[in-house]
Amino acid sequence: MFGYNAYLIVSSATVLGASAGVCGTYLYMRKNSLLSDAISHSTLAGLAMAFLLVSALGGNGRSLVVLLVGSTLSATAGLAAVRYLVNNTRLGSDAAIGVVLSTFFALGVVMLSVIQILPIGQKAGLEGFLLGSTAGMLAQDAVLITVLSIILVVVFLVFRRDILVVSYDPIFAQTQGISLRRTDFIVMYGTLAVTVVGLSVVGLILIVALLIIPSAAARFWSNRVEIIVITAAVFGGLSGAVGASVSAFVEDAPVGSVIVLVSATIFVFSLVASPERGLVISLIRKAQSSWRVHLAMGLLSVAENRPIYEEKTRTILQKNGYLRPDGSVTATGQNAAMVALKNEQRWQVWTSQMQAEGTSVDPLGWMKIEHNLTPDQLRSIDRHLFRRDLSNA
């Protein structure tokens, strides 16, 4: 069952997943994830043409090296086409990507149909590159994939700071002498290399998934780039390892799809459970914040003797025991309202009189000011309030 060939597949899928995770993170940082879609779809034309050409010359068109060279050439052309359209026309990158991926892929499909017509031997299996096929994987293929993946990761590690600076602040990067062209070149051709290497394992349609999903999933777990890169590598490697192993045991389960579905599972888990930006925590925070704002607004209305319009505000005040069902205010409600009013006045003094910068800093009126300022800051606010009351009186 789990023979030599299976080990080859699992190890190459793991290495491929990890390097795609690393590369994909930088692609994500450059906000260009779907560029990989154009690159990968463009490979088909070159793949088919290389096969056609080498076979016509009497060579072995199915050799992995031949196919890799062909797909690299057409993917480079596709990439150049996207860049031309974005730089020299009014089309946005989404349209440019759509145009290139459909046209180049269509050219590949035409070429495949030509191959079907021509009397060439050994043409079966070329379509395996669409969805990946590992059935006939050789040891040398696995070595090739591993070596290329490792080179890629090393290149990314060497230039990681440049890419980071360029992604964060392109203008600053240029003042620091970091070339935008060079970093973009590395990110794009790195993506191209991962795509081409990954063709034989997961296929050209699903390699995009390995470039996008692990890095997007990793984004949920940290705000630090180094951590995100490592997490993405782990997620990608894990997807490759688990996916390839599962497909080795389950008959008819195509490797590429299973790998992608494993990574999708990791993504969904991250989306739901991430402690910082996950679905669960977001919903809880939203509810809490809504509750707090209603409570604060309600108490302020009570303190300033204004009517409370909202049903939800009244309900929340009642649940806290501040309001009776008939709408009258309880004693604890009066106290709480006074506390809230004082809190609000203190915040207003702080944001308008004390804080050095008045712009864009949260006057967190619905939060307890004692939790956010030091005792001496509070004392100075209260002195100010006292003076103001004196002068008003």
Partner 1 sequence: MLDDFLMFSFAPMLIGLFIAITCAILGNFLLLRKQALVSDSISHVVLPGIVLAFVVTGSAATWPMMIGAGVAALLSVAFIEVIVRFGRIEPSAAMGVVFTSMFALGVLLLELSDTRNVHLDVQHALYGSLESLIWLDAVGWRSLLDPVALAGLPHELWRVLAVFALVTGAIIVFWRHFVLISFDETFAASAGVHVGLVSIFLISLSAIAAVAAFDAVGSIIVIAMFVCPPATARLLTNRLKTQVALSVLFASLSVIVGILASGYVLRPFGYTDSVSAAGMIAVISGILLAASAVFGKHRLAVN
Partner 2 sequence: MTELTSTEKSPVLRVNGLSVSYNSDPVVYSVNFDIPHGAMSAIIGPNGAGKSTTLKAVVDIQPRLTGQIEIFGQTYDKVRNRISYVPQRASVDWDFPVTVQDVVLMGVYPTLGLLGRVRPMHWAKVMEALERVGMTGFADRQIGQLSGGQQQRVFLARALVQDADLYLLDEPFAGVDAATEKAIVKVLKDLQSKGKTIVAVHHDLTTVEAYFDHIVFINRSIVAAGSVAREFTEEHINQTYGRLVASQKQVI
1, 57, 58, 90: residue in contact with partner 1 (rule CB under 8 A)? 90
Helix 160-168 / helix 180-202 crossing angle, nearest 10 deg: 110
Rounded Cα gap, residues 201 and 37, in angstroms: 16
Instruction: Tell me if 98 contacts partner 1 by CB under 8 A.
Output: yes
CB burial of residue 136 (10 Å; 0-12, 13-18, 19+): exposed
Instruction: Tell me if 92 contacts partner 1 by CB under 8 A.
Output: yes
Which listed option, partner 1, partner 2, none, makes contact with residue 95 (CB within 5 to 8 Å by class)?
Answer: partner 1
Instruction: Tell me if 300 contacts partner 1 by CB under 8 A.
Output: no
267, 347, 350, 366: residue in contact with partner 1 (rule CB under 8 A)? 267
Cβ proximity to partner 2: between 145 and 295 the closer is 295
Give residues with Cβ within 8 angstroms of 312, minimum separation 6. 294
Q: Which of residues 321-350 bind partner 2 (CB under 8 A)?
A: 344, 348
Instruction: Tell me if 352 contacts partner 2 by CB under 8 A.
Output: yes
Quick note: the x/- pattern for partner 2 over 227-266, rule CB under 8 A, is ----------------------------------------
Q: Supply the minimum distance, in Å, between the C-beta of residue 105 and partner 1.
A: 6
Rounded Cα gap, residues 322 and 347, in angstroms: 23
Cβ proximity to partner 1: between 70 and 132 the closer is 132
Cβ proximity to partner 1: between 56 and 361 the closer is 56
| C-alpha distances in Å from residue 250, one per residue of 26, 207, 255, 280 | 34, 21, 10, 34
Single-letter amino acid, residue 42:
S
Phi-psi region of 252 (alpha: psi -120 to 50; beta: other; left: phi over 0): left
Rounded Cα gap, residues 329 and 271, in angstroms: 43
Query: Which residues bind to partner 2, rule: CB under 8 A?
Result: 90, 282, 285-286, 288-290, 293-294, 296-297, 300-301, 306, 309-310, 312-313, 344, 348, 351-353, 355-360, 362-363, 365-366
Query: Which residues bind to partner 1, rule: CB under 8 A?
Result: 28, 31-34, 36-37, 84-85, 88-92, 94-95, 97-99, 101-110, 112-114, 117-118, 127, 130-131, 205-206, 208-209, 212-213, 215-216, 219-220, 252-254, 256-258, 260-261, 263-264, 267, 271, 274, 277-279, 282-283
